[in-house]
């Protein structure tokens, strides 16, 4: 890659860096994952993740290891975890570029694929999010490169790298990594001459890679299960079998993802123009069939299963970006910025409204200075319309800037209701003063990292409220959901909170609860 291209990638990173540096931990997923990493870092026990002192069997530990290791070097800060994710995103761009080259894209298509991914609204959204999906996507890309090694008949290298990336993928997010590579591996005779010519060797090589991956995850899982005992591995097995049993219950309809995909692919659904003949060529040829076998089987499965979350699609964004790069190789394909310029104007209007809406919704003063973000959105609209709309790199940087700007404005406008550090400081203060405190129902580790708690925050059920208050008349009770709040008792303290039905986290004195409730 040319030196000049690195400078543009550095600019892309700089556009997203404010998100990494200024975003608070977002409840409820990010606060939970940071709490798992904090407890690992604080306790020195890195084998089995915990949340609020309880074994956490929902996720594999690789992300927690990376965050805790980063804290060892740079100190305990949220930006460390976000910058790590941003580095993963940058590595993904480089791997996508190399993947396009290995699929024999033309030079224009290679550049376009990388910048189409960089400018995707969905990719910018996940590029600094403290979640598992980009880390999983990186391992999927590595596995795809390993399959291309098998296609090139470099069997030893391909098997070894396939096993390594599958093992890392399982450590990142469990067996779902196999779903992302199963389709392209099983359908390899459609795109790989080597697989067509020696099917038995191909499938045995894939099985060998999977076996190596399982051996890698077993090196962690077996000691973890032995160390934590049945209280860890029995819920783990229960979660896996439960998800398999309920996976086709369709709590969300099968089409739920379909209207969201165009949103994730903004601005390209508005800007990419090509004749029908160019689109028709996408599923043809080695590269086109490779891409189709990559993204279509996982998408069908994701549509079929009941548990649907938008971030499950993050590893597929690169496949769609590569497909767009494939189309842009056509001489008659081009980008047009007029519709995206109109979209940016709509975003500017939204940025003017957002601070007033957030303040009214959660009861704090309007942050009028945030309305200045709308001016930047208008500049981006004018730039795309007049200057940047035809070049994929310039368009991508403008789109990334608009997405980053919108996310930052949203986080700052909602920060009093997003950031739970004030509540967590209250909890930590109660611990330091040896004042009894408990949370009503499970809190998902909401305050562990944000309050740098040295011990778990006790949890009680609604049925135990009176009993706990009688035992701790000078204590405090917290509730972060309307259905959990003590009835007919006004809280002594409240903080705005966007996930609660009552739009608040409340703190109740035990004596106030006892004054209303019969003893």
The Cβ of residue 277 has, within 10 Å, a number of other Cβ atoms equal to 10
pTM of the model: 0.93
Give pLDDT, residue 247: 55
| Per-residue H/E/C for 11-39 | HHHHHHHHHHHHCCCCCCHHHHHHHHHHH
Beta strands of 357-502 (E only): which ranges?
437-440, 459-460, 476-479, 493-496
What sign has the CA pseudo-torsion 204, 207, 213, 215? negative
- Which two structure tokens, joined as six digits, stand for 493? 């303290």
**DSSP letters for 198-247:** -HHHHHHHHHHHHHHHHHHHHHHHHHHHHHH-HHHHHHHHHHHHHHHHHT
Q: Which of helix, strand or coil describes residue 479?
A: strand
Distances (CA, A) of 308 to 41, 252, 406: 31, 7, 25
In the chain, the N- to C-terminal Cα span, in Å, equals 74
Each of the 519 residues of the chain gets a pLDDT tens digit; together they read: 676 788 999 999 999 999 999 999 999 999 999 999 999 999 999 999 999 999 998 889 999 999 999 999 999 999 999 999 999 999 999 999 999 999 999 988 999 999 999 999 999 999 999 999 999 999 999 999 999 999 999 999 999 999 999 999 999 999 999 999 999 999 999 999 999 999 999 999 999 999 999 999 999 999 999 998 887 877 766 665 555 445 544 478 889 999 999 999 999 999 998 888 778 777 778 999 999 999 999 999 999 887 888 999 999 999 999 999 999 988 888 899 999 999 999 999 999 999 999 998 888 888 888 889 999 999 999 999 988 888 899 999 999 999 999 999 999 999 999 999 999 999 999 999 999 999 999 999 999 999 999 999 999 999 999 999 999 999 999 999 989 999 889 999 999 999 888 899 999 999 999 988 654
Distances (CA, A) of 93 to 6, 110, 283: 11, 11, 23
What sign has the CA pseudo-torsion 211, 212, 215, 216? negative
CA distance 12 to 88: 14
Determine if the peptide bond prior to 97 is cis (ω within 30°). Answer: no
CA distance 29 to 44: 23
CA distance 402 to 268: 14
Give pLDDT, residue 518: 57
């Amino acid at each position: 890659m040319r030196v000049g291209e690195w400078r543009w990638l550095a600019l892309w990173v700089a556009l997203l860096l404010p998100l990494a540096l200024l975003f608070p931990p977002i409840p409820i997923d990010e606060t939970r994952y940071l709490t798992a990493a904090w407890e690992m870092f604080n306790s020195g026990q890195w084998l089995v993740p915990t949340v609020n002192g309880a074994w956490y069997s929902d996720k594999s530990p690789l992300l927690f290891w990376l965050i805790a290791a980063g804290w060892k070097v740079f100190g305990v800060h949220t930006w460390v975890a976000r910058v790590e994710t941003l580095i993963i995103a940058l590595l993904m761009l480089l791997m996508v570029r190399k993947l396009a080259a290995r699929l024999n894209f033309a030079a224009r298509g290679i550049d376009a694929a990388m910048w189409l991914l960089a400018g995707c609204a969905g990719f910018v959204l996940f590029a600094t999010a403290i979640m598992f999906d980009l880390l999983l996507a990186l391992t999927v890309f590595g596995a795809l490169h390993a399959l291309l090694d098998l296609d090139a008949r470099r069997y030893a290298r391909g098997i070894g790298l396939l096993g390594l990336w599958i093992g890392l993928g399982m450590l990142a997010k469990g067996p779902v990594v196999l779903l992302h590579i199963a389709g392209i591996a099983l359908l390899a005779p459609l795109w790989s001459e080597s697989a067509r010519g020696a099917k038995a060797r191909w499938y045995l090589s894939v099985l060998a890679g999977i076996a190596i991956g399982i051996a890698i995850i077993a090196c962690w899982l077996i000691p973890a299960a032995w160390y934590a005992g049945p209280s860890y591995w029995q819920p783990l097995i229960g979660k896996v079998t439960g998800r398999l049993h309920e996976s086709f219950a369709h709590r969300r309809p099968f089409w739920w993802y379909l209207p969201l995909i165009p949103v994730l692919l903004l601005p390209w659904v508005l800007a990419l123009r090509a004749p029908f003949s160019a689109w028709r060529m996408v599923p043809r040829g080695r590269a086109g069939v490779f891409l189709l076998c990559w993204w279509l089987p996982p998408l069908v499965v994701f549509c079929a299963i009941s548990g649907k979350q938008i971030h499950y699609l993050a590893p597929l964004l690169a496949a769609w970006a590569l497909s767009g790069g494939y189309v842009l190789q056509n001489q008659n394909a081009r980008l047009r910025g007029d519709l995206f310029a109109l979209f940016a104007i709509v975003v500017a209007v939204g940025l003017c409204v957002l601070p007033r809406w957030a303040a009214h919704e959660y009861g704090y003063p309007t942050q009028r200075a945030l309305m200045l973000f709308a001016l930047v959105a208008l500049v981006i609209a004018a730039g795309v319309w007049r200057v940047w709309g035809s070049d994929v790199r310039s368009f991508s940087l403008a789109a990334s800037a608009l997405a980053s700007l919108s996310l930052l404005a949203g986080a700052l406008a909602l920060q009093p209701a997003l950031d739970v550090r004030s509540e967590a400081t209250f909890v930590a203060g109660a611990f330091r003063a040896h004042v009894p405190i408990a949370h009503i129902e499970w809190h998902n580790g909401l305050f562990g990292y944000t309050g740098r708690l040295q011990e778990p925050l006790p949890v009680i059920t609604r049925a135990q409220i009176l009993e706990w208050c009688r035992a701790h008349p000078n204590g405090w009770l917290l509730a972060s959901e309307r259905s959990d709040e003590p009835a007919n008792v006004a809280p002594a303290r409240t903080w705005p909170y966007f996930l609660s039905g009552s739009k608040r986290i409340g703190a109740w004195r035990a004596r106030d609860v006892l004054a209303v409730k019969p003893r």
